Amino acid sequence: MSHQAQFKALAAWLQGAVTSEERYTLGYDAEESDFIRFNHAKVRQAGHVQQASVNFKLIAEGRHANLNLTLSGDAEVDQERLSEALLQLRETLTLLPEDPYLQLNDEAWQSSNVQEMPLPDSAHVVQQIAQLGEGLDLVGIYAAGPIYRGFASSSGALGWHQANSFNFDWSLFHENGQAVKANYAGHTWSDDGFARRFALAREQLAFLGRPAHVLAPGQYRAYLAPAALEEVMGMLCWGGFSAQSLADKTSPLQRLYDGQASLSPLISLKEHVSGSLSPAFSGEGYPRVDLSLVANGAAQDRMINSRSAAEYGLVANGAGWGESPSALSMDGGSLELDSVLKALGTGLYISNLWYLNFSDRTAGRITGMTRFATFWVEDGKIIAPVNTMRFDDSIFSLLGTALEQLTCERELLLSTSTYSQRQTASCLLPGALLSALTLTL
């Protein structure tokens, strides 16, 4: 039985099992994943994971409770588990108070998105990684396979999402303990594309053997590679576009949405669900569409889930419980990749940022570390690696007054999280050239 058939069978059984006073939602999560770990460019561990689970929520008289169930793949066994869960949730509901912010979607919407781009043969991927990494201290993990998501409700809503993807997250270590971190991910594997990405990491590795350049605290020109910019955007997604945070006045983009500040006209951000790894429906049962979050530096839409909609009189637009983008896309600019060092001139080339946090959340100030593969550049040439430094700067500078250019080429960065299951979040980002980045330590 296919994953979709398994899910539909459980939803059909549940539709007939609930009473007229009860309502339900049923979410489905499954994957068929290859996981391959590398050390010294050799396979050290390989495995295959097949798993499926459902999140079952029962609603009655303004009360709701939910259970997560792992599925066996045996239709009779799984139906019995769902039946037992129904009885358990009915007992639980009698103990709970009414939820004043419970808001259900009564629309019987239908959604189906099946992305069947062919995945690379894992043996071929291993062979290419081993060949390119021969003689290098390469460590990393490769994960690939189809991901499935489904949603059904007692109102007749039915959504199905299936997408193939791969993600190779690796580091090349120098004998002095320094490293270059890199990632190659997407829907369609390209031998040439991976070879180019690997060549860049190997080129940067050679520079790590040079004596480190010591910098004093201060402001420096800087280039943030897409992976470094992703860390900055990750902080903004932590409540930045959330209707709840904006209503509570705790958003790091509060000044932007209140009209008190703006970002650079170069900045346009979207929640670009269509064609992404993320499903076009939320776990709450709301369809998701593409949203313009920032256009030419000005605030646009915000992420609204059903609870914020109920509390603040808004219209839910399919945001999840954290009201964070899961398919964030930033428009590119005009800077060619092979012109980045020339455009930077003298300053910092930053491949990755680490350990980010807010130093002043409502002011939009963030702090973090440079750590690996940050280089000092003079006259458009990499001179030396830079010791770990701490930065502290405002997002209204980084993506505002200090932003000079964005690269025209963008990099797709998929979530590497595999806790419980592979995640579907992604970012499509350019690199960013800054006139100033403030280093404090």
pLDDT of residue 1: 86
pLDDT of residue 230: 98
CA atoms within 13 A on the CB side of 201: 29
pLDDT digits (tens, 9 = 90+) for 72-122: 999 999 999 999 999 999 999 999 999 999 999 999 999 999 998 889 899
Rounded CA-CA distance 320/326 in Å is 9
Q: With cut-offs at 50, 70 and 90, classify the pLDDT of residue 367.
A: very high
Give residue limits of the domains in the chain.
Answer: 3-207, 218-439
Kindly tell me the sign of the dihedral angle through the C-alpha atoms of 353, 358, 363, 364.
positive
Distances (CA, A) of 104 to 158, 285, 304, 318: 14, 8, 14, 12
Correct CATH for 3-207 of 3.30.110.30, 3.40.640.10, 3.30.300.30, 3.30.2290.10: 3.30.2290.10
Report the pLDDT averaged over residues 284-300.
97
pLDDT digits (tens, 9 = 90+) for 39-77: 999 999 999 999 999 999 999 999 999 999 999 999 999
Q: With cut-offs at 50, 70 and 90, classify the pLDDT of residue 401.
A: very high
pLDDT of residue 371: 83
Q: Does the pTM of the predicted model rise above 0.85?
A: yes
pLDDT digits (tens, 9 = 90+) for 303-313: 999 999 999 99
Nearest to 167 by CA among 409, 351, 352, 426: 426
Burial class (CB in 10 A: 0-12, 13-18, 19+), 91: exposed
Going by their DSSP bridges, the two strands 110-115 and 158-173 should be labelled as parallel
